[in-house]
Structure 1
Amino acid sequence: MKNKPLLTSLLCVSLNVACSKSESEQTQTVQSQKNNDALATQKASLRPELQPWVGHYQADTPCKTCITRCEGCEGTHVDLKLYADQSYRLVRERNAQDEPAEHLAGRFVFLDAAQDKIQLVGTSQRGLIVRAGDFTEIYNQDTGLAYDSSDEFILEKS
């Protein structure tokens, strides 16, 4: 008989702990579902014209001062990320020299009605990017045209 109140108390505490765990698990499940819903909404709200652009691009291009690879030109590694909010992050690093990498960030804008050309706002060189069919290419920012050695300016999307 003396153990009955103790047993009852122990049973109540056990039920309380079990209920609180259940509520905690439910809260985590609800939070996880909210996160999944937010990602789905974000993907669904991606404007159609941005879908082909958003992503991670890389290339090894001629140096910033060269329009094609020349003797002794090890080129520049380009790492470009385009985001759904029309922002970008660009890292350009010379392959042969111990210069610090150039880090740029900003917004990009569409330059044509077909939305196949973008300009990386804030870049002084090689910020004109064109999507043509299955590939994306850096164009000459001064002329608005492809470089003569255009195959050296193709960005690979990963």
Structure 2
Amino acid sequence: MKKTVFIPLMATGVLLGCQEANQSQAKDASAIEQKMQKPLWAGSYSGTTPCMSCASRCEDCPGMVIDLVLNQDQTYELRRESLSGHNAVEVLKGRMHFKDTQQTQLELLNVKTRNMIFVDLENQMLEIRMDQTAQPYVAQDDFLLELGKA
């Protein structure tokens, strides 16, 4: 003799709903974990600085636009564009390394000039420093890059 088994559809819907909620919570937890693992210095920074031959802004030169992306794996992409139009856009990619344990001083490898960077996590900015010495420029406010808001 055949027995008929009834499964209430409401119970099945509740079970599927719970499974979807658990998957959603797992995805949310994974996203939070990834954000927590991302270094605070990683991100896209941009600003306008004096041209390569100047140590401060001058009236005759509109300067250059700098876009710098610092990746979690300690690689970077640097894009420099002269606003005067005299030079071609320069795009440099490579590795970087920190010169201190606090990760506030970094060097962009394979960049010949303006490759020393001070990381200001409190203000979410980078400051380009003088080559070799990593000392601030006298007009250091002219060499700031701000973290992009994405």
Does TM, scored on the shorter chain, surpass 0.5? yes
- Give the match for residue 99 of structure 2: 111
- Give the match for residue 142 of structure 1: 132
Asked if 1:67 corresponds to 2:59, the answer is no
Which structure has the higher relative contact order (CA within 8 Å, separation 6+)? 2
Query: Are the counterparts in 1 of residues 51 and 82 from structure 2 also a CA contact under 8 Å?
Result: yes
Asked if 1:81 corresponds to 2:69, the answer is yes
Matches within 5 A, 1:26-105: 39-46=31-38, 50-51=39-40, 53-105=41-93
Unaligned runs of 5+ in 2: 1-18
Per-residue CA deviations over 1:102-142 (Å, capped at 9, x if unaligned) read: 00111111111221111111110111110244242110023
Corresponding residue SS for 1:65: coil
Aligned residues: 128
Per-residue CA deviations over 1:34-86 (Å, capped at 9, x if unaligned) read: 8766544433433xxx21x1111111101111111224111011001111111
Matches within 5 A, 1:3-18: none
Structure 2 CA distance for partners of 1:152 and 1:41, relative to 1, 3 Å: same
Please, what is the CA RMSD of the aligned residues? 2.5
Q: TM-score, normalised by structure 1?
A: 0.69
- Give the match for residue 151 of structure 1: 141
Structure 2 CA distance for partners of 1:148 and 1:81, relative to 1, 3 Å: same
Q: TM-score, normalised by structure 2?
A: 0.72
Partners of 1:122 and 1:37 in 2: CA distance: 38
Structure 2 CA distance for partners of 1:58 and 1:33, relative to 1, 3 Å: same
Partners of 2:96 and 2:25 in 1: CA distance: 32
Asked if 1:124 corresponds to 2:112, the answer is yes
Partners of 1:94 and 1:151 in 2: CA distance: 19
Greater Cα radius of gyration, structure 1 or 2: 1
User: Which stretch shows the higher mean deviation, 102-111 or 126-135?
Assistant: 126-135
